[in-house]
Chain A
Amino acid sequence: MKTRHLLLLALLAASGLLTGCVNVQPWERGNLADPTMTAGNPLGNSMSEHMWFSREAASGGRGVGGGGCGCN
């Protein structure tokens, strides 16, 4: 009887974990896609970028557009 109880409890815990596996859906990624969600310091990065590309006559190469919206 104890084994059955343990089995049921284990199943209960497992099924609870299953329902806990929720992904952020593609259409819910507006906040994640915000430039401020970029890792590090977004404002500082953009200012550094500006300084670098002005001085080096180059641009790009840091990060990706969209900040993880999962587009395409």
Chain B
Amino acid sequence: MNTSSNKNNQAKLITIVAVQLLGAFLALAAPLKEGDPFPNLTQFGLEGVVPDIHGKVVIVDFFASWCHPCQESFPVMEELYKQYAGKGLVIIAVNVDKNKADMDDFLKTHPASFVILRDASNKLVSQVKIPTMPSSFLLDRDGKIHAFHRGFKGDETRKQYIGEIEALLK
């Protein structure tokens, strides 16, 4: 009786350890890398209208009102959008602010004509696990990650974007 009770306790302990280790593993799961398909944006309950990006070259840019480099990146995104939208570029900026009012204030001072979505529940950003703010993914026409931009480094990042976008739009 005692032996079977001990075995039961051990089995319970082993189960708890296994569950906790699995949790730790999931928490450390690897982020997306180049060549990976980008998650389907319609599956995350994003606020706003998700555009049809089938066969398009897409920039998915994560931003927040409190992020200073995002304030620098927005005018560049706008410039890129105006320059390449006619050739098949779609820019989707995904906001991760806790309060929508903060995003609205940001957009008043940094107007954008490209698509703005809001990841209020942080489901999408938690899945793609961006390492810093801002971060952006450049997707090819097949929806796969062609390039990843960590942060925004002014003209250097702008030139990289132009080179990559023109190569993809050819």
Which A residues form the contact surface with B (CB < 8 A)?
Answer: 1, 4-5, 8-9, 11-12, 15-16, 18-19, 21-22, 25-30, 33-34, 65-66, 69-72
With both beta carbons as reference points, the residue of chain B lying nearest to A67 in the complex is identified as B66
- The total number of A-B Cβ pairs within 8 Å is 80
Q: How large is the interface on B (under 10, 10 to 19, 20 to 34, 35 or more residues)?
A: 35 or more
Query: Is B130 within 8 A of A27, CB to CB?
Result: yes
Query: Is A30 within 8 A of B132, CB to CB?
Result: no
Chain B positions within 8 Å of A18 at CB level? 20-21, 24
Say which residue of B14, B23, B151 sits within 8 Å of A8 (CB atoms): B14
C-alpha gap A70/B150 in the complex (Å): 11
C-alpha gap A31/B17 in the complex (Å): 34
Mind listing 11 A-B residue pairs with CB under 8 Å?
Answer: A4-B10, A12-B16, A15-B16, A18-B21, A26-B133, A27-B64, A27-B96, A30-B65, A65-B68, A70-B132, A72-B151
Query: Is B97 within 8 A of A71, CB to CB?
Result: no
With both beta carbons as reference points, the residue of chain B lying nearest to A72 in the complex is identified as B151
Chain A positions within 8 Å of B102 at CB level? 30
Chain B positions within 8 Å of A28 at CB level? 122
B163 interfacial by beta-carbon distance below 8 Å: no
With both beta carbons as reference points, the residue of chain A lying nearest to B24 in the complex is identified as A18
With both beta carbons as reference points, the residue of chain B lying nearest to A34 in the complex is identified as B66
Query: Is B17 within 8 A of A69, CB to CB?
Result: no
Query: Which 10 A-B pairs rank lowest in CB-CB distance, beginning with the nearest?
Result: A72-B151, A15-B20, A18-B24, A27-B96, A33-B66, A30-B66, A27-B125, A8-B13, A71-B69, A19-B23
